[in-house]
Amino acid sequence: MIERIINGERTDYTPVWFMRQAGRYMKNYLKMREQHSFLEICLNPELSAQTAIMPVKKFNFDAAIFFSDILLPFLFMGAGLDYNPEPLIDFKLNNKNIKSLKIAKVDDFHFAAEALINLRKQLPNKDIIGFVGSPFTLLYYLLNQDLKAFYKLDEEGLLNELMNKITSSVINFAISQLKSKINIIQIFDTKANLLNGEEYRKYSLPYNMKLIKSLRQEKVKVIYFFLGGLKIASEAAKLDVDCFSVDYSDKLSSFYKILKTPLQGNLSPEALLGEKEEVKKEIKSLMDDAENITGHIFNLGHGILKNTPEYNVSFAVDFIHNYSKK
């Protein structure tokens, strides 16, 4: 159904899925984590598929998203990656280490296609979504979230080499997922908001374009999620994607005037923490605003919060489906 929305087709109701829908707010996920580490789940096709299925079966989401992490390319680039529980990257920034970084190969990610094939077999009537991170967002984590190091790289003329290695590795991560014949992939650019428009145009846009050009050759529908609101939207509009997923900094209708594609979003994750009547009010307001948008996929404007009550998720999905049938 989500692919149909992206294609401009009419559907009986608005489809919905949530970013991080398989996550720490779910009791079943927490039980899984008692037995397996986050990285173990990501790298095990059976566990990854099992985890991705949980919220779809429980809440009737219209799509399952690959259970993985945008930072996995670093495992195979030689940067060193672990989670405790937040990501820990063991990489010292210097010319020698940048030169020694490898480009992750498609075959390094063999587990990805296996997990997604498994997911498709178990959810034949749902959309299956793959994902990768944007090159700039990955770089930010590689630099231990230090923007000063980023600008230093640029001054020393090392930025382009590093970004190209990251971009090629991300492309190969995406291609590995597409071997499973999924039809939709989402790019997460969750650090785009750290840049102003000019910086985004210089440091992020060219590498996003390179990534998207490769995805286009694979004939997959591309969703691009970014933080940064309308400030970044005017630059991101230059990207050749099928759908933009937007944050909750402004109304969907305001984003639509700039982006002019089907939109995904953009309920505040905090809206799901309230009482049912408050949740209903927020959803109605968003969906009424989206009435004149050609193509709307309901989602959050960022990942679901770990203290979100499960009953609110169930209520929200049912209400979105029913209200959009009016």
- Summarised one tens digit per residue, pLDDT across range 38-92 is 999 999 999 999 999 999 999 999 999 999 999 999 999 999 898 988 888 988 8
Q: What is the pLDDT of residues 149-161, one digit of tens each?
A: 888 888 888 899 9
Return the amino acid letter for 238. K
Q: What digits encode the pLDDT tens for the residues 8-19? A: 999 999 999 999
Instruction: Please list the residues that pair with 129 across neighbouring strands.
Output: 65, 184
Cα separations in angstroms, 61 against 185, 210, 281: 17, 32, 20
* Tokens at 226, concatenated: 């970014």
Residue among 64, 65, 67, 93 nearest 80 (CA)? 93
List the domains of the chain with CATH numbers: 2-323 (3.20.20.210)
**What's the mean pLDDT in 94-109?**
94
**Do residues 127 and 183 lie in contact, with contact meaning Cβ atoms separated by under 8 Å?**
yes
Between these two residues, 135 and 149, which has the higher pLDDT value?
135
Q: What's the number of CA atoms in the CB half-sphere (13 Å) around residue 128?
A: 25
Place of tokens 């991560």: 173
Task: Evaluate if residue 169 carries a pLDDT over 70.
Answer: yes
94 to 129, 152, 158: CA distances (angstroms)? 36, 11, 9
Among all chains, which residue has been given the structure tokens 């382009």? 160
Extract the tokens encoding 5. 């929305």
Q: Cα–Cα distance between 315 and 51 in angstroms, integer?
A: 21
Confidence at 326, pLDDT banded by 50, 70, 90: low
**Residue 161, both tokens:** 């080499």
Region 137-157: mean pLDDT is 86
Model pLDDT, residue 158: 86
Written as one letter, the residue type at 303 is: G
How large is the C-alpha radius of gyration of the chain? 19
At 147 the pLDDT is 78
